[in-house]
């Protein structure tokens, strides 16, 4: 693997501290969290103490004010250890930026400091049972009544849904206006009429709480509107490149981790009296994957650099998300094959990585949606 130049010495120092934290506070407990369907709530507070949550938040708000590479390090270190339950990336890379970039000074002061300490866990509620990637097709509505919005609707597949203390809800404040009628509301857990449904049972990401959310005549102060009414779709489009880059970063961390696990395993596993690492098929399979991973790593690292410089556009981020997650699917599938029957056993990390990887081509915009975005530029 060629050296990575995207990170500097201070980034690697942070990586070391994150790794030690995860080894001590997460790795020993993750099997139990998978059985529980969610992580221990206390891990959020411990992560906050170390500065893992929202590191890019400005210092005046209690953050470290560092660049986005610190966020990617947290994601990489979690994923390479198979810590699928930690919703830190959703919290730091997706939810917090919506508040920072679009919230009023009052909302920022109310929520951000506690988001950094782990006192508040966030979620963002976009997907609905009948919409999927079609954000313009959402049915959840918010009607202004005096100084409050009355929120009605439902959401599904919401990461951090069970543990969330505040949820950013994508809703329509003007159903007749299409994309121009979409707004973002911050809704506190415990608000009358806001109910959390079941913790959904998934084929992967077993330790990550993923929920249905229901809103019935929920009264939300109009001060909890993020930005301007009707500008929600614009805000969503502005933040999606970072979300898709985060997914690509996670995909590459998974690819590299699974490849190394497989290289180690085939040196030990024997068939016909000798290690399967000596077979040409094994060497060719892993050599091909290694080459693809190296090439994709260079591209994703370049996207990280572009994003840090404020130059990552929607199409390039979509290319990274599409290409990295499709590669991840091939890597985990072909590597699992080399484990034989053991690769199908949940106790082996490759089996968990296989199950966890499948959703990468779905959330954050499906692979098909990524192709639409890329295709529009090609044929514009």
Confidence of residue 257 (pLDDT cuts 50, 70, 90): very high
Question: Over 80: is that where the pLDDT of 328 sits?
Answer: yes
Question: Over 70: is that where the pLDDT of 311 sits?
Answer: yes
CA distance 157 to 336: 27
Tens digit of each residue's pLDDT (9 = 90 or more) over 85-112:
999 999 999 999 999 999 999 999 999 9
Which residues are identified as catalytic?
243
Q: Which residues of 162-178 are buried (b: 16+ CB within 10 A; e: fewer)?
A: bbbbbbbbbbbbeeeee
Candidates 123, 373, 88; CA nearest to 250 is: 88
* pLDDT in the model for residue 135: 74
Q: Which two tokens stand for residue 237?
A: 């489009």
Q: Which residues of 104-130 are buried (b: 16+ CB within 10 A; e: fewer)?
A: eeebbebbbbbbbebebbbbbbbbbee
- CATH assignment of 233-378, given 1.20.140.10, 1.20.1250.20, 1.10.287.3510, 1.10.510.10? 1.20.140.10
CA distance 43 to 333: 31
Tens digit of each residue's pLDDT (9 = 90 or more) over 197-239:
999 999 999 999 999 999 999 999 999 999 999 999 999 999 9
Candidates 333, 348, 342; CA nearest to 269 is: 342
- CATH number for the region 123-230 comes to 2.40.110.10
- 3-state class of 216 per DSSP? strand
Residue for token digits 């990336």?
A: 89
pLDDT mean over 244-255: 98
Regarding beta strands 166-172 and 210-221, do their DSSP bridges make them parallel or antiparallel, or are they unpaired?
unpaired
- 3-state class of 183 per DSSP? strand
The chain-wide mean pLDDT, for the chain, equals 95
- CATH assignment of 9-120, given 3.40.50.410, 2.40.50.140, 3.20.20.70, 1.10.540.10? 1.10.540.10
Beta bridge partners of 196: 213
Please state the separation of Cα 75 from the chain's center in Å: 8
Q: Where in the chain is CATH 1.10.540.10?
A: 9-120
Question: Over 90: is that where the pLDDT of 195 sits?
Answer: yes
- 3-state class of 131 per DSSP? coil
* pLDDT in the model for residue 2: 80
Regarding beta strands 210-221 and 148-159, do their DSSP bridges make them parallel or antiparallel, or are they unpaired?
antiparallel
Q: Where in the chain is CATH 2.40.110.10?
A: 123-230
Residue for token digits 């270190």?
A: 77
pLDDT mean over 344-365: 96
Candidates 254, 245, 253; CA nearest to 370 is: 245
Q: Where in the chain is CATH 1.20.140.10?
A: 233-378
Give the alpha-carbon dihedral of 67, 73, 75, 77, to 10 degrees. Answer: -160
Q: What is the DSSP string of 143-208?
A: EEETTEEEEEEEEEEEETTTT-SEEEEEEESSGGGGGGGEEEEEEETT-TTEEEEEE---SS-TTS
């Amino acid at each position: 693997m060629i050296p990575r130049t995207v990170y500097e010495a201070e980034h690697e120092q942070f990586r070391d501290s994150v790794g030690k934290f995860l080894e001590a506070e997460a790795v020993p407990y993750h099997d139990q969290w998978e059985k529980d369907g969610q992580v221990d709530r206390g891990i959020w507070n411990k992560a906050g103490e170390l500065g893992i949550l929202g590191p890019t938040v400005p210092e005046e708000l209690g953050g470290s004010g560092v660049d986005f590479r610190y966020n990617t390090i947290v994601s990489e270190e979690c994923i390479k250890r198979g810590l699928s339950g930690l919703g830190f990336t959703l919290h730091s890379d997706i939810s917090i930026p919506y508040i920072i970039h679009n919230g009023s000074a009052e909302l920022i002061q109310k929520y951000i400091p506690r988001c950094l300490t782990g006192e508040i866990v966030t979620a963002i509620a976009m997907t609905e049972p009948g919409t999927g990637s079609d954000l313009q097709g959402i049915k959840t509505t918010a009607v202004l009544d005096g100084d409050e919005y009355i929120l009605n609707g439902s959401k599904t597949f919401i990461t951090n849904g069970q543990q969330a203390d505040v949820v950013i809800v994508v809703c329509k404040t003007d159903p007749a206006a299409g994309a121009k009628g979409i707004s973002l509301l911050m809704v506190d857990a415990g608000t009358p009429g806001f109910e959390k449904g079941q913790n959904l049972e998934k084929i992967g990401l077993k330790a990550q709480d993923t929920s249905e959310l229901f809103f019935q005549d929920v009264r939300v102060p109009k001060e909890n509107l993020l930005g301007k009414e009707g500008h929600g779709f614009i805000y969503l489009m502005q933040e999606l490149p970072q979300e898709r880059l985060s997914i690509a970063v996670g995909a590459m961390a998974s690819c590299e981790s699974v490849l190394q696990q497989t290289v180690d395993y085939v040196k030990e596993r024997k068939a016909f009296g000798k290690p399967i690492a000596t077979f040409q098929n094994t060497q060719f399979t892993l050599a091909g994957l290694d080459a693809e991973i190296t090439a994709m790593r260079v591209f994703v690292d370049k996207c990280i650099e572009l994003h840090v410089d404020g130059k990552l556009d929607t199409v390039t981020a979509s290319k990274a998300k599409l290409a990295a997650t499709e590669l991840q699917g091939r890597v985990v599938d072909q590597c699992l094959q080399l484990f034989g029957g053991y690769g199908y056993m949940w106790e082996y990390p490759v089996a968990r990585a296989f199950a966890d990887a499948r959703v990468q081509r779905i959330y954050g915009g499906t692979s098909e949606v990524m192709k639409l975005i890329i295709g529009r530029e090609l044929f514009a």
